[in-house]
Structure 1
Amino acid sequence: MTIPYPLALAGLALLLAPAAQAQTKLTIPQPSPTVKMREAFSTSFVELNYSRPSLKGRVAFGGLVPYGQVWRLGANTVTKIRFGEEVKLAGQTVPAGTYALLAIPGKADWTFILNRDTAQWGAYSYQQSLDVVRLSAKATKLAASQETMLLSLENVRPAAADLLLTWERTQVALPLLANPDPLVLAQIQEAMKGDKKPYLTAAQYYYNSNQPDLTPALGWLDAAIQAKPSYSAYYWKAKLLQKQGKKQEAATAANQSLELVKTDQNEVAKAEYTRLNQQLLAEVGGRK
């Protein structure tokens, strides 16, 4: 029996379909590469998850990205940002959590948006009713053009940083602030109840965070020295005393640190703490 030609073609298509479906998947360069970054900040972290579009000869703002319209702040799915603790972003309090990060670009004034819908594709299903906060920022013009869009944390300090958008010749900064003191001081209080008390680390935090009362920190260092004298404990005791304006006592502690560091077998540590103590002695008017 002769099979009609149309039926023969249909049968051949069915035979070839599984082979077509099983073809090798190609791995090709992404036009807008995905970035997943997590950076330590304050007592926790900041995470960014976004895709980086490039200019490719196009105009970014006022062209590819229209002014005055909600933008996904990148390419592909919406940009996401996660804070590991409560922060202030551009002066607004933001609880710990994950948010969609969008923007409304302007020629000079920008609006950034934190939105609860982190599953949206682009900004096509954006709902203003799900906004957590809106933030205002000024754009600055760069001398050189940035080909590929970049979101980054810059000017990072222990509890402050700038969240920067840089693309084309535009840069916009959102100041980021944390308040780690309540968290860290509570940790210290709890840790001092245990067997392995973090005397040195706690004293260093008191110094570096400019706590108004340094008395507890000096007590911790005295306890550490009593348990096991060390040049590092004496050095930080000298630093705390110097901050209190007790120059003679600071010089005494620095000289005790210098004596102990002489016996250290680690030449790098010996050189570093010798230099640090000599610098401190010069500052308080003690001997070098």
Structure 2
Amino acid sequence: MASEVASLAALRAENTVLQQQIGALRQQREAQRLATSVASLNTVFLQSVCDTLPYAIYWKDRDLVYQGCNQRFAADLGLATPALVVGKTDDALPWQPGEATRFAAIDRAMILSGQDAPSDEHVVYPDGSEEWFETFKAPLRDPQGDIIGVLGTYMNVTQRKRAEQTIQRQAGVLADISTPLLPIADGLIVMPLIGDIDAQRADQMIAVLLNGINEHRARVAIVDITGVKIVDTHVASMLVRAAQAVALLGAQVVLTGIRPEIAQSLVQLGAQLSSMITHSSLQRGIAYALASRRS
């Protein structure tokens, strides 16, 4: 009887241990399930974030095998989903001829150097079309700091570049309009200035004036400031520099459009205008220049 009681107690103890182990296993399995669920949610969330960004994003391992990318990167390759990129190298993807080799060389060099590689790329395609990209590549590192792969992003900025080029062309046209040069007689040119004159426009005005003197073999250059509302130290300095530069070419500046208030301002500013002939109006300046040309 005593042995039966002892055996029953042992079974109960063993059952208790087994129940505890089963409970621990259930908790462990639940923790694993939760961890897997969280990891899956994190993966989905991160993929959603990557797909939302305006950049194409991708990452590779040290062997330059793609481990992931966002939807924009896959679409640029003409592929439906990122899954069609994962597991491939650039050689297996539909890049333009020579691009796969170039990408691999850049990636390997970056892995060796451990340095980020930002760049602007201008790509001309076989059909003559062209695009511009802002790219950024960086080495991927593990928690110990060892390089385990490559992260890359790029954005197509072709529309912005073309807009900038259009703005530059328009600025050039406006600059030509804002600093016109008019040859009105043999050896005589006129530059009428209108509006405000900042440092950039002053430099351009002097450059246009000097080029015009050289091109037209001018001996007299009339600079008319009738349309310049404000003559400050900056404008006075520009006029002096222009006269000095013109003199080096063997020509002379005639300054016209000197209103009483401008004359007073120039005197108060101490502008050294002795190297220039001044007249109150453009007509008087032209008459002087034509008369001096005949003498």
Larger strand proportion, structure 1 or 2? 1
Asked whether the two chains share a fold, i.e. TM above 0.5, the reply is no
Larger helix proportion, structure 1 or 2? 2
TM-score using structure 2 length: 0.33
TM-score using structure 1 length: 0.34
